Amino acid sequence: MRSRPPCLGIRPLASLMSLTLTAVWTASAIGQPVDPAPTPGGDGGSVMSQIDAMRREMDKLQQDNQSMKSEIDTLRAETDEDWLTEARADEIRGLVQDVLADADVRSSLQSDGMTAGWADHFFLASSDGRFKLTLEGQMQVRYIYNYHDQPDRHRQGWEVTRASLRFHGHVFSPDITYYLRIDPTRNEPGLVTGLYFLNDAWIRYALNDDWSVRVGQFKLPFNREELVSSSYQLAVERSLVNEAMNLGRSQGVELTYTNGASRASLALSDGASGGAGLGILLNNQGTQGATVSRINSNALLQDVEYAVTGRYEHLLSGNWNQFVDFTSPIDEEFGMLLGFAVHAQQGESTNGGGGARDEARFIGGTADLSMEFGGANFFISASHYYIDAANSTPTLGVINFTGIVAQFGIYVAPKWEVFVRGEYGQFDGSGGSTLDFPDLNLVTTGFNYYLEGHDLKWTTDIGFGISDVSGAIWAADIAGYRGDNDEVAPQVVFRTQIQLLF
């Protein structure tokens, strides 16, 4: 409560009344006739003495007025200071109440000092640092328009391409980390819609500062475009070359070495899951059908006799965090990353045909270069597979499978980025192969608007199939491309997407 000003006091009030009476008396005196030249012994001396007395009284009133003004100024200052002090006290009391309320909320979450909050993502952690759980989410809402010269020329519509939940953290020690990713199925051929399935589920143990080992289900360490998360791509979707040639996820064990500018990984697994084109080749072994999957499969599934994947990366400039995505914001330091990978596997024999071995053998290699210029980025990769399926499936024969991807992006404003991507793919069959598909030639251009970085991003692009997009090898539903199986006119695909990460 603000304090009331005290009474002004008797002295200033008396002075004010005296001033008023003097002014009245003066007016009265001035109103009477005064002899301009009084004679000695007359009333002139009395008038002069009265004027002198009035002058002294007025001087005294001026002093009293000045004193009263000083007292009022002092009173006003003291009153304002009291009010400011009370206002500060109210603010401090409110702040204390907020802190106590927050402490109550935190303490209600646990009984042993557990903490919770937001640090890039929502998290729960123990006070001793032994346990931590971080929750991440991804949503991609997409509109696609597709045109190609088929009976059904125009197709368009909306979809929720991805809506995944990701859980990661550490248990017992920061050296033991885990990752779990759950995704809904899309309405794609061969998939049951509306279900949730496991994409990633692995545990990693850090042996020391340089070496770590992980077991479970994860992406095989091969082509960089697939290893970069779908959250951090440059275009709306990965390239058709990647969709056809990526090794996908598998179950197994991986050893990783990281030291300074070098990083290397070696994985032993159940074999590649394969993209659209590669999957047809790898899964078509003996009596196995094309629906065989290495994701969430049981241990005794007929898959491979062996499968080994190795990748080496060398950081020529910059830091590792720069290369979790493909973009390079303005003012970011220059970075360059070079990568190489190999993969080899042999399918299990069905011992069909009188005991003849009928395994499919597959070996592949890839090389990639990533550059970030602080406002611009460049990426190029080339992959080649050699697949010998002549014994398992004579119609497949021997396949040479090649793909090249190159893309470039540049910021035209702090939040606006334009990009262009070119793709080339070749599929050649020999050794009795009956497969013959046209080469892939595709160009995509578009833009990104980073409202809040990758966390809230709008991406729009348009792609032109300069040559046919083979339905058996190159077409990918998730990328919006339909198969051209009779050498029709090129496809045009328009895509726009909103992404939210939390």
For every residue of 57-126, which 3-state class applies, written as one string?
A: HHHHHHHHHHHHHHHHHHHHHHHHHHHHHHHHHHHHHHHHHHHHHHHHHHHHHCCCCCEEEEECEEEEEC
Residue 449 CA, chain-centre distance (Å), reads 13
DSSP string, 236-302: SS--HHHHHH---EEEEEEEEEEETTEEEEEEEES-----HHHHHHHH-STT--TT--SSS--TTSS
pLDDT along the chain (502 residues), means of 10: 42 44 42 41 54 73 73 64 62 74 58 75 91 96 91 89 95 97 72 66 97 97 96 97 92 96 96 66 43 67 86 97 97 97 86 58 94 98 89 76 97 98 91 79 97 97 91 87 74 97 94
Task: Give dist(CA 342, CA 190) in Å, integer.
Answer: 29
Residue 197's pLDDT is what? Answer: 75
Element (H, E) at 52: helix 44-109
Instruction: Say whether 492 sits in a helix, a strand or coil.
Output: strand
Q: How many CB atoms lie within 10 A of CB 348?
A: 18
Nearest CA to 478 out of 220, 162, 139, 226 is that of: 162
How large is the angle between the packed helices 10-30 and 44-109, nearest 10 degrees?
150
Nearest CA to 435 out of 384, 394, 482, 486 is that of: 394
In angstroms, what CA-CA distances link 67 with 16, 177, 403? 12, 79, 96
Residue 293's pLDDT is what? Answer: 59
Residue 147's pLDDT is what? Answer: 92
Residue 174's pLDDT is what? Answer: 96
Task: Give me the residues paired with residue 163 across strands.
Answer: 139
Residue 115's pLDDT is what? Answer: 87
Task: Give dist(CA 346, CA 502) in Å, integer.
Answer: 41
Residue 148's pLDDT is what? Answer: 85
Determine how β-strand 456-465 pairs with β-strand 173-184: unpaired
Element (H, E) at 207: none
Residue 378's pLDDT is what? Answer: 98
The answer to whether residues 272 and 343 touch, using CB atoms and an 8 Å cutoff, is: yes
Task: Give me the residues paired with residue 348 across strands.
Answer: none
Residue 60's pLDDT is what? Answer: 76
Sign of the Cα pseudo-torsion (408, 412, 417, 418, in order) = negative
The answer to whether residues 120 and 169 touch, using CB atoms and an 8 Å cutoff, is: no
